[in-house]
Amino acid sequence: MIGFGRYNLLLRIGRGGMGTVWLGRQKALGRYCAVKLLDPSLAAKPENNDRFVRETRAAASLSHPNIVSVFDGDEFDGQHFIAMEYVEGFGVAEILQLRGPAPVALALRWLEQAAVALDYVHGRGLIHRDVKPHNMLINAENTLKLMDLGLAKDMLDTEHSLTVTGTVVGSPSYISPEQIRNAKTVDARTDLYSLGISFFQMLTGKVPFERSSAAAVCVAHLQEPMPSVRLADPQLTAGLDRLVARLAAKNPAARHQTAAQALAEIRPWLEQYPWDDASRAYLAGVPFTDRTVAHLLKTEGIEMRHVDDNLTPMARGAMATVLQGDGHDATAIMQDTTPVRKRRPWLWLVGGMLLGAALVGGTVFVMWKQVVAPLIAQMKTRAKASPTLADLAAWQKQRRVFAEESFGEARRCSDAEWPGQKKRLLHKVRQNLEQQWRIQDPAMRERIVANSAELLDEVRAMSQTEYQKFKPALVDRWLMQGRKPGDRPPGGKAATR
C-alpha cells in the first residue's frame, strides 16, 4: 500500500495509454475508488497534462447512472491523478473475448444503455470521441457504465480544443470517417458511428474492418461498405443489419442525427427480444466476483482492516518512480509502518550478485546498441550492390509498359463495364506496388492507388485525339507517383515534379 495524499493506493489494477490505474481508498470518506495516474513520461508534454485535466473536468461535470462518476482530480507530489468510481465488473470487450458474441437480447440492452449515456453526454454539450466496447463497463446487475472521456470535445469550445488539424484522434477500429478527415469539425453523430461499430462487435464478436495496420483500417472506414452482421451469424435478422448500417452510415446525414433518435429506434427491439435464459446464462459465465474489492484485496494478501492505516511518508519526488515501477497488473506494493527488520547477510549477498549481473548486462547491451549493431548495419549497407544503368532502364521500361496497358484497358471498356474494370485495374496496381515497386508503407500505397484511379478516369474522359496528344505526359505522371526522391531515370537527372 502507498500513502498518496488524500488516498491510500492498495494495488495496481490496470494500465492504459495515458498511465496506470490503481484501486484506492479515500481516507476521509472511507470509500474505494479507481485512481488513474498520468504516466510521468507523458506529463512532460503540456498538451498531455491539458488533456488529462480536460478529462477530469469533462467527466466531473457528469452525473448519470450509466456513466462512471469522477470524485476528484488533482496533483500530488508532481503526479497528476483522477479519482473515480470503481466498478466491480468487466469491459464489454473483455466479456466478448471471454464469452464470444453476446445474445441479441443482451447486446440490445447494452446498446440501449450506451445510447442513453451518450444522449446525456451530448445534452451537456460534450462529444465522447472514443466510444468503444473497451470503454463500456458491465457489472453483475448488467448495468453499463460509459467511461474514459479523455478525448471528449466541448461542442461550443473551439478556442481550447486539443485537436490539431491533420491529427487523427480516436481508436482506429471504431473511428468515424469524418473524424479521420478532420477531428476538429465532428459533432455528436461521430459517437453514433462508433456506437454502431461497437454494436456490430457485440453481435459478431469482432470489428467490421480487421486490417494489418491502423492506416489500412482508416482507409476501410472511408471507402469500404459496412459488412453485414449476417455474414458472421446467418440467424441474425435483416432488421438488425439495417439498424447497424444506419448507426454506422459513412455519411453523417444518413445516420440518426441524435442519440435520442437512435433510442427511439432501439427500444422497440427490446420488446421483440425480451430478456431470456440465453442472456442470463451468458452473464452467469462472467466471473464478476473476481473484480470485487474483497476478492482483489484477499488475492494480494491485504487485510481490509489495514487499508486505512497511516503509511510511512516518502521522500518528495519519489512518488512517480514507485508508482510507475514495472510489475504485472493487480500487484500490491506494500509499505507499512512496521519497524524495519535487520536483513540477513545472505539477502545482501544475493542482492549484490543481482546488481552486479544487471550492471554487466546493461554494459553489454549499451555496447551492442551503440557500437556493434550500427557497425554491422553499416557493413550490410556497403555490401549491397547498387543497381546498374541497365537494371534501371529495364525497370523503367516495365513500369512504362504497365502504365500504357492500364490506359489501354481503361479506354477499351464500355461505360457499363467501367466500374468493375476499374476495380480490377486498381487491384493490379496495388499488387504491382507491393511486388514490383516494393512499397511497404500501406498509407503510401493507398495514396498512389487513389492517384492512379484519378488518372484512369482522366484518360477515359479524353477523346482519341486528346489521348494520343497527351499520352506521353500521362505516362510520365503515372511514373512519377512511385519515384522516390533522388531516383534517376537512365541517362538523366533526378526527377522532379
pTM of the predicted structure, to 2 decimals: 0.62
Residue 201, all three cell numbers: 462487435
Residue 45, all three cell numbers: 508534454
pLDDT, residue 78, reads 77
pLDDT, residue 401, reads 87
Contact 128, 151 (CB under 8 A): yes
As a whole number, mean pLDDT of residues 464-484 equals 80
What average pLDDT does the structure give for the chain? 81
**Which residues participate in catalysis according to the annotation?**
130
Architecture of domain 2-87+292-323: 2-Layer Sandwich (3.30)
Q: Which residues pair with 82 in a beta bridge?
A: 36, 73
Integer-rounded Cα Rg, in Å, for the chain is: 29
Percent of the residues in the chain that have a pLDDT greater than 90, as a whole number? 37
**C-alpha distances out from residue 157 to 55, 233, 391, 403, Å:** 14, 43, 58, 49
Count of residues in the chain: 497
Q: What superfamily would CATH give domain 90-284?
A: Transferase(Phosphotransferase) domain 1 (1.10.510.10)
Return the higher-pLDDT residue of 241 and 55.
241
* pLDDT digits 0-9 by tens, 385-422: 455 667 667 777 888 888 888 888 888 888 888 888 88
Q: Where are the alpha helices (DSSP H) in 368-463?
A: 373-383, 389-412, 418-435, 442-461
**C-alpha distances out from residue 478 to 113, 258, 331, 412, 483, Å:** 51, 44, 58, 19, 10
First to last CA, the chain: 63
Q: Please say whether the dihedral angle defined by the alpha carbons of residues 266, 271, 273 and 278, taken in this order, is positive or negative.
A: positive
Nearest to 333 by CA among 30, 20, 121, 41: 20
Percent of the residues in the chain that have a pLDDT greater than 70, as a whole number? 78
Looking up cell 460509459 gives: 146
As a whole number, mean pLDDT of residues 427-444 equals 79
pLDDT, residue 174, reads 94
Looking up cell 500500500 gives: 1
Give 430's pLDDT tier (boundaries 50, 70, 90): confident
Question: Is residue 445 over pLDDT 60?
Answer: yes
Q: Where are the alpha helices (DSSP H) in 248-344?
A: 259-272, 277-284, 293-299, 319-323
Looking up cell 490506359 gives: 407
* pLDDT digits 0-9 by tens, 59-102: 788 899 999 999 888 888 878 888 999 999 999 999 999 999 99
Residue 358, all three cell numbers: 544487471
Residue 418, all three cell numbers: 467501367
Return the higher-pLDDT residue of 140 and 153.
140
Tell me the helices (H) and strands (E) count for the chain, helix number first: 18, 11
SS3 359: helix
Q: Where are the beta strands (DSSP E) in 136-263?
A: 136-139, 144-146, 153-154
Helix 389-412 vs helix 464-481: crossing angle, to nearest 10: 140
As a whole number, mean pLDDT of residues 227-231 equals 93
Backbone angles phi, psi at 263, to 5 degrees: -60, -35
DSSP string covering 51-71, please?
Answer: HHHHHHHHHHT---TTB--EE
Indicate the pairing of strand 144-146 with strand 136-139: antiparallel
* pLDDT digits 0-9 by tens, 279-322: 999 999 999 999 999 999 888 888 877 777 766 556 666 666 66
As a whole number, mean pLDDT of residues 6-22 equals 84
Residue 39, all three cell numbers: 504516466
* Cα gap 342→327, rounded to integer Å: 26
